[in-house]
Structure 1
Amino acid sequence: MSSLSEFQLLSVLAQEMNMRKASERLFVSQPALSQRLQTIEKEWGTKLFIRSQKGLALTPAGEHVIQFVNDVLNKQEKVRETIHALQDGVSGTLKIAVASIVGQNWLPQVLKKFIDTYPQAKISLVTGWSSEILKCLYDDQVHIGIIRGTPDWKGLKIHLFSDQLLLVDREITRPEQVLETERPFIQFKSDSNYYQEIQDWWMRNFKTYPKKTIVVDQIETCKQMTFNGIGYSILPAITLNHTEKNLFKIPLVDENGEPLKRDTWLLGYESAFQLKQVSAFVELIKEYISEFHS
């Protein structure tokens, strides 16, 4: 039977499907990795991976072995968490999945404070769209998730903050000027309701489509194109700070004259919140938000 270190090797190979990338992650040479894989396959009595110039592919037997390997590694991690929870102090790995916009613009300051406060704790961070964050939670891959929008979540959820949506441009000073400009409306299209919310606001106010549009799939691309004067965009306030020069930022309002905002939520299962590293992180976030808004 393979050891846990060999299970880790197989898991990394299955994630990367590439000998070079896997060897870099495992800090071993490619020949050494290839030799170890051959030994492991001999132990299992079958080929687990098919090698080709394009990389690796799992054999049917390999798929079963990898599923078993990942189950064992997940159980090992849960046992470690239980042991850490029995010990004094905050340690263990905090596994977080975060919406990319939050991971880029808000979370770093919080993580810095967490690391400084709890140096024995480790952090595993995944970023992506909010739907991907929810999948990570449902699949029990992370302890907590931080998403944008209104969550359909049956577990514990904590509202972190709301930030306004702003029309941002180098030239436009009033929303109605978008009907006059020949420059494009740069839009960020995600899998959340954010894109639809912008579309609804636009049609409610202007009853017609923009003259020109550029659609991108990364909000940072949208932001940089706007900052460089290529066009105008609608951005959440979380992506902006007070260092941008020569930019007009016009708050959007709904049909009742109320500011249009995006919510950010922290989600998780109750069992995860009982872990020391998770509860410590949640309390630190609450303190950070309290200080930020005080």
Structure 2
Amino acid sequence: MDKRDWLILQMVYAEKNITKAAKRLYISQPTLTYRLQQIEKEFDIKLFYRGRRGVDFTEQGELLVKYAENMLKQQQDMEELLWNTGNEVRGTLRLSVSRTFAFYQLPQVLKAFNKRFPKVEFHVNTGVNIDVIQSIYKQDAHIGIVRGDHSWPSNKKTITEENITILSYNKIDLKDLPSMRRISYKTDPTLEMVIDNWWKENFSSPPISNMNVDNVEIAKRMVLNGLGYCIAPSIVLEKNDQLHKIFLCDTTGSPIVWKTRVLYREELLELAMVREFVHFIQDYH
């Protein structure tokens, strides 16, 4: 077995389907089937059984998949160690990033970093904050970028602080909010709690919210078309957005802020590409 076979086993196990795995590996289904048969012959085992819904791995097959995952991880660690011993900053930087930051800011950050360190490649996964944190715990990523306050036992640094803002197409008065249409969107539960607490401190009746969309970008588009207001971190504001803004404040009159943080493990700073990225993103913002 070699690296190609390890990747094949990992992909077939993840997809539980030969056709889908072949597509993701960019090889033909007959070629994939042949390689799987060769692996079975090499170890004299049955990897899986085919069913109507896909494949079910045997106990021996699952053990071999685990071996393949370990070997891929060891090779990855060795490559990073070898690259780190040279004078150049190089390697593949694995990032796990919250969707909102990835949408509004990550492309510009990676473009600027890549200009400074052209031999660094990127492997990026985006998701909600809990997905980002889990990927760091599982060591699937070198660095995580999350928004809001989250428990993390190792290193974390704040890179941005934003106001949480009421956005509207026309100028509005705070006292009129309970009678106006609010555009809600799916977001991090922590942010929802901050906004809900602010509302309860200021109003005795719930908001009128009969528009609930998938994400903050859709909500902002609705606001731009005069369909209501939304409450969102100011990261969503772009250069040409002609929106009225009211910053949320707590009971003491201080602005309520929403922070973006970089999470990483201390030992990974030994890798030049990780160390340089952490320093770069702090300076960038």
Which residue does the alignment assign to 1:240? 237
Which residue does the alignment assign to 2:78? 79
* Residue pair 1:188, 1:219 contacting (<8 A) in 2 also: yes
1:178-224 per-position Cα deviation (integer Å, ceiling 9, x unaligned) = 2222x3x2223334410111111111111211133433443333333
Which one is further off, 228-237 or 75-84?
228-237
In the alignment, the residues of structure 2 paired with residue 17 and residue 175 of structure 1 have an alpha-carbon distance, to the nearest angstrom, of: 53
Query: CA 1:279–1:258 in structure 2 vs 1: closer, same or farther (change >3 Å)?
Result: same
Unpaired runs of at least 5, structure 2: none
1:144-183 per-position Cα deviation (integer Å, ceiling 9, x unaligned) = 11111123222111110101111112245222222222x3
Matched, 1:38 2:65: no
SS in 1 for 2:208: coil
**What aligned pairs does 1:154-233 form with structure 2 within 5 A after superposition?**
154-171=153-170, 173-181=172-180, 183=181, 185-233=182-230
1:58 to partner: Cα distance: 3.1
1:76 to partner: Cα distance: 1.1
**What aligned pairs does 1:122-141 form with structure 2 within 5 A after superposition?**
122-141=121-140
What letter matches 1:281 in structure 2?
Answer: F
Query: CA 1:41–1:225 in structure 2 vs 1: closer, same or farther (change >3 Å)?
Result: farther
In the alignment, the residues of structure 2 paired with residue 145 and residue 216 of structure 1 have an alpha-carbon distance, to the nearest angstrom, of: 26
What letter matches 1:151 in structure 2?
Answer: H
Which residue does the alignment assign to 1:69? 68
What letter matches 2:37 in structure 1?
Answer: Q
1:203-261 per-position Cα deviation (integer Å, ceiling 9, x unaligned) = 1111211133433443333333333333321111111112123x322211111111111
Which residue does the alignment assign to 1:28? 27
Query: CA 1:4–1:161 in structure 2 vs 1: closer, same or farther (change >3 Å)?
Result: same
**What is the TM-score with the length of structure 1 in the denominator?**
0.90
* Residue pair 1:188, 1:195 contacting (<8 A) in 2 also: no
What letter matches 1:102 in structure 2?
Answer: F
In the alignment, the residues of structure 1 paired with residue 36 and residue 5 of structure 2 have an alpha-carbon distance, to the nearest angstrom, of: 9
Q: Percent sequence identity over matched residues? A: 32
In the alignment, the residues of structure 2 paired with residue 72 and residue 237 of structure 1 have an alpha-carbon distance, to the nearest angstrom, of: 44
SS in 2 for 1:238: helix
What letter matches 2:204 in structure 1?
Answer: K
SS in 2 for 1:152: coil
1:94 to partner: Cα distance: 0.6
SS in 1 for 2:158: strand
Matched, 1:278 2:274: yes
In the alignment, the residues of structure 1 paired with residue 9 and residue 67 of structure 2 have an alpha-carbon distance, to the nearest angstrom, of: 11
1:78-111 per-position Cα deviation (integer Å, ceiling 9, x unaligned) = 1111111111101111111111111111111110
Q: 1:249 aligns with which of 245, 248, 256?
A: 245
1:10 to partner: Cα distance: 1.1
In the alignment, the residues of structure 1 paired with residue 16 and residue 190 of structure 2 have an alpha-carbon distance, to the nearest angstrom, of: 34
What letter matches 1:256 in structure 2?
Answer: T
In the alignment, the residues of structure 2 paired with residue 170 and residue 176 of structure 1 have an alpha-carbon distance, to the nearest angstrom, of: 17
Matched, 1:288 2:264: no
Query: CA 1:225–1:68 in structure 2 vs 1: closer, same or farther (change >3 Å)?
Result: farther
Query: CA 1:180–1:74 in structure 2 vs 1: closer, same or farther (change >3 Å)?
Result: same
In the alignment, the residues of structure 2 paired with residue 122 and residue 144 of structure 1 have an alpha-carbon distance, to the nearest angstrom, of: 14
